[in-house]
A = this chain, B = another copy of it.
Amino acid sequence: MTETARAIVLDRPVLAFPTVADFTIVDHPLVPPEGDGWLKVRPLYLSLDPYIGARLRGRHMGEPAPVPGEALPGFCVADVEETRDPAFAAGDRVVVEAGWADLAWVRSNTARQVSSDLAPSLHLGVLGMPGLTAWAGMTQLAKTGPDDVLTVNAAAGTVGGVAGQIARNLGGRAIGIAGGPEKCALVVEQYGFDACSDYRRDDWETKLTKAVGGGSTIHFENVGTGQLAVGLRLLNLYGRVVLCGLADHYLADPAAGPAMTAIGPIIGKRASVFGLVVYDFYPRWAEWTTLAEPWVRSGRLTIAEDIGDGLDAAPRQIERLMRGENIGKTLVRIA
């Protein structure tokens, strides 16, 4: 008997940022593939991350936009139901790209096994790709230590929120930038940052300057040029800058040209600026989880979750994320 799987796919090409109307739901018979090296997985949570907005438009790392009807990009945490690879057993928990679907066959060599005694959603956030991104930027590129003062934007999100908690857990200070009082409260109260400035307020730069005090030593950039200019202004001489994400530019009109910023201040501050692509650090995932899991278990590393219930909620969740309406890690609970 052939099972039925449900998936969310594009109904039409995404031209601007994705909205609910761009997606449609399809039910289709789940035909088992031929041969070995496959897993049948039942997704528990789907991860929605800022890069997906650009990816859906074919504007991320040179990867083409998905065609309407095709499986969509994004990782899920899933349980293995059937295995055709001796390295996996039924019941194993994995992170894998399965499309936006409630059941799928995936290539076993694309699945990453994760511990099943932690809340599954953590493997998509703190312990997942965004957490690894923060780890790579803070510890491998900026080499943060106890004397550091960090400024980081999108601080209520997973990358920014984890970056700040890494800074603090390794002895430094963390000053966040986020949009709105609710996000700022989260950053300070739940994530434990020293301060957070709300960039929607007219006086946000003044507040940030005051919180930073004698200048920052690391700026971690997740947003784009306007906030980067402020980050560079507050950076001490010889500071480090991690260029991680350009969320602002994922939404930008391509006709407006490439992402632009001031390079004059990089010279004036004698800054060291590091471009970060998390793919490079996939082989080192265990280094991050070894450091992070004890922090997670002891409550020293935590990110709020913004969960939509049921696969059908995925289009609404990606739209919320693109609008910056999410609070914390954006997820869809599937099973």
Contact = CB atoms under 8 A, between A and B. Distances in A.
A248 B274 CA distance: 24
Interface stretch (A195-203, A275-283, A311-319): A275-283
A321 B329 CA distance: 55
A291 interface: no
A7 to B, nearest CB: 30
Contacts of A245: 267
A170 interface: no
A243 B269 CA distance: 11
A225 to B, nearest CB: 7
B275 A274 contact: no
Contact of A267 (B229, B243, B268, B271): B243
Interface of A: 61, 225, 228-229, 243-246, 249, 258-277, 280
14 contacts: A229-B258, A244-B267, A245-B267, A246-B267, A259-B263, A260-B261, A266-B275, A267-B277, A268-B275, A270-B276, A270-B280, A271-B274, A272-B273, A272-B274
Ranked nearest first, the 9 interchain pairs of A and B with the lowest CB-CB distance are A273-B273, A267-B275, A258-B262, A259-B264, A266-B275, A260-B260, A261-B263, A270-B275, A271-B275
